[in-house]
Amino acid sequence: MTATLVFHSGPDPFEPWRDALAPHLGEDVLIEKSDSVTDPEAVRFALVWMPPEGFFDRFPNLELVINLGAGVDRLVARKDLPDVPITRLSDPEMGRMMAGFVLFSVLRHAREIPHFQAAQTRREWSYRHPRAAQDITVAVLGLGELGAPAATEIARQGFDTHGWATRPRDLPGVTVHHTEAALPALSAKADIVVCMLPLTPGTRKRLDASFFDGLKPGAAFVNVSRGEVVDQEALVAALQSGQLSGATLDVFETEPLPTDSPLWDMPGVLITPHLASVALPKSAAPQIAANIRAVLAGRAVSNEVSRVRGY
Ligand code: NDP
């Protein structure tokens, strides 16, 4: 009997996902866009990014929800989530794209690019002697599927690289800290802090005024995870006071970032519209298909999200 995989995403076009998935799924799984599902009762799998409220009610026979991305905060917080396994993408290519963006952000601050950009607007040859990477401390908060490769990439460039997570782990070239108590000492010595924490009840506004006050004066801040992990008013205040010398920000409390946000005009701040990494159909399709096959065969799925932890 044919089972249906329903697809829903605002930013991701349907056709590349259908074309990437079809060869891995075979003819017994039909792939349909959510607005053209012919038989809602045949839908057993959902591949979704931020579906609208009530979306899941249409499909009474769902057996698996696949988050079309890494961050699951918006999915696991929903009240209408069916009681079936939720999986996320765990794609090395997505990790590589994120690691590249994070490395760019770290180098932007380490090599004082905002200073040179400002000097250029004044037609000024404003030499600053570069610092050696080994003399620059970078703290990566969150060492998950995306955080770990990013930290490893930073370490590969020779930076004094530290990471912070809830559990200890070995990462080549990275000094890993794993207790709440370790964060103040780590953030006090970091020249550049990179936020890669998932948004959970435990991390919402975790990076607040006291966190920014505790940073090394003149440190730089990078956020590529979720805007709500940061108290954005405290971030703005830290940039205004000079406690932070600059920031590279890909995510915000409200997206799109409102046009009247003070962040737009701040010296040393780079704003990008939530694109540090994206789900890639060709590389993610095999793992999505493998999980669908697992459900069809009655086996356990991979990359399952913990609703309790929230990531
Ligand atoms: P994971 O869920 O794989 O890992 C989360 C990491 O954070 C783990 O190392 C975990 O620790 C740690 N962590 C969780 N809670 C805490 C806490 N309270 N204190 C300390 N450490 C904590 O996340 P990913 O690496 O895959 O992704 C990170 C975030 O990046 C995503 O949640 C998503 O929001 C965001 N993202 C952003 C994109 C963009 O384009 N800007 C694209 C894709 C994702 P432990 O290892 O001990 O479990």
What's the 3-state SS for 142-206? CCCCCHHHHHHHHHHCCCEEEEECCCCCCECCEEEECCCCHHHHHHHHCCEEEECCCCCCCCCCC
The whole-angstrom separation of Cα 99 and Cα 105 is 10
Share above pLDDT 70 across residues of the chain, in percent, rounded to a whole number: 100
Q: Judge if the beta carbon of residue 276 lies within 6 A of ligand 1.
A: yes
Length of the chain: 311
| Ligand 1 centroid from CA 29, angstroms | 32
For a mutational test of ligand 1's pocket, the pick from 186, 225, 306, i.e. the residue with the most ligand atoms closer than 8 A to its C-beta, is: 225
Region 35-57: mean pLDDT is: 96
Name the amino acid, one letter, at 267: P
Say yes or no to pLDDT of 131 above 80.
yes
Q: Judge if the beta carbon of residue 168 lies within 6 A of ligand 1.
A: no
The verdict on ipTM greater than 0.85 is yes
With tokens 């435990």, the residue in question is 202
| Ligand 1 centroid from CA 304, angstroms | 14
| Ligand 1 centroid from CA 234, angstroms | 21
Q: Judge if the beta carbon of residue 197 lies within 6 A of ligand 1.
A: yes
Find all residues with CB under 8 Å of 243, minimum gap 6, and list them: 212, 213, 215, 217, 218, 219
Residue 240 pLDDT grade (very low, low, confident, very high; cuts 50, 70, 90):
very high
Whether pTM exceeds 0.90: yes
Q: Judge if the beta carbon of residue 193 lies within 6 A of ligand 1.
A: no
**28, 47 contact by CB (below 8 A):** no
Facing residues of 9 across strands?
Answer: 49
For a mutational test of ligand 1's pocket, the pick from 102, 153, 166, 229, i.e. the residue with the most ligand atoms closer than 8 A to its C-beta, is: 166
| Ligand 1 centroid from CA 40, angstroms | 33
| Ligand 1 centroid from CA 269, angstroms | 23
Q: Judge if the beta carbon of residue 269 lies within 6 A of ligand 1.
A: no
Helices (H) and strands (E) in the chain, counts: 9, 12
Interior angle at CA 125, CA 121 and CA 127, nearest 5 = 120
Q: Judge if the beta carbon of residue 67 lies within 6 A of ligand 1.
A: no
Compute φ and ψ for 66, nearest 5 degrees: -110, 120
Say yes or no to pLDDT of 1 above 90.
no
| Ligand 1 centroid from CA 151, angstroms | 12
Active site residues: 226, 274
Region 204-217: mean pLDDT is: 98
Q: Which of 113, 229, 100, 218 minimizes the C-alpha distance to 164?
A: 229
Region 16-24: mean pLDDT is: 97
Per residue in 277-293, pLDDT (tens digit) is 999 999 999 999 999 99
Q: Judge if the beta carbon of residue 251 lies within 6 A of ligand 1.
A: yes
Encoding tokens for residue 162?
């530290």
| Ligand 1 centroid from CA 27, angstroms | 36
Atom of ligand 1 nearest to the CA of 277: 40
Per residue in 62-113, pLDDT (tens digit) is 999 999 999 999 999 998 999 999 999 999 999 999 999 999 999 999 999 9
Say yes or no to pLDDT of 4 above 80.
yes
Residue 232 pLDDT grade (very low, low, confident, very high; cuts 50, 70, 90):
very high
Q: Judge if the beta carbon of residue 224 lies within 6 A of ligand 1.
A: yes
Chain Cα centroid distance, residue 31: 27
For a mutational test of ligand 1's pocket, the pick from 73, 146, 248, 306, i.e. the residue with the most ligand atoms closer than 8 A to its C-beta, is: 146
Q: How far is CA 249 from CA 34, 108, 195, 200, 222, in A?
A: 32, 12, 10, 19, 6
Find all residues with CB under 8 Å of 266, minimum gap 6, and list them: 236, 239, 240, 247
Per residue in 171-189, pLDDT (tens digit) is 999 999 999 999 999 999 9
3-class DSSP state for residue 246?
strand
Q: Judge if the beta carbon of residue 25 lies within 6 A of ligand 1.
A: no
Region 187-200: mean pLDDT is: 98
Residue nearest atom 3 in ligand 1 by C-alpha distance: 144
Q: Judge if the beta carbon of residue 274 lies within 6 A of ligand 1.
A: yes
Encoding tokens for residue 103?
């490395």
Cis peptide, bond prior to residue 256, ω within 30 of zero: yes
Encoding tokens for residue 44?
């057993």
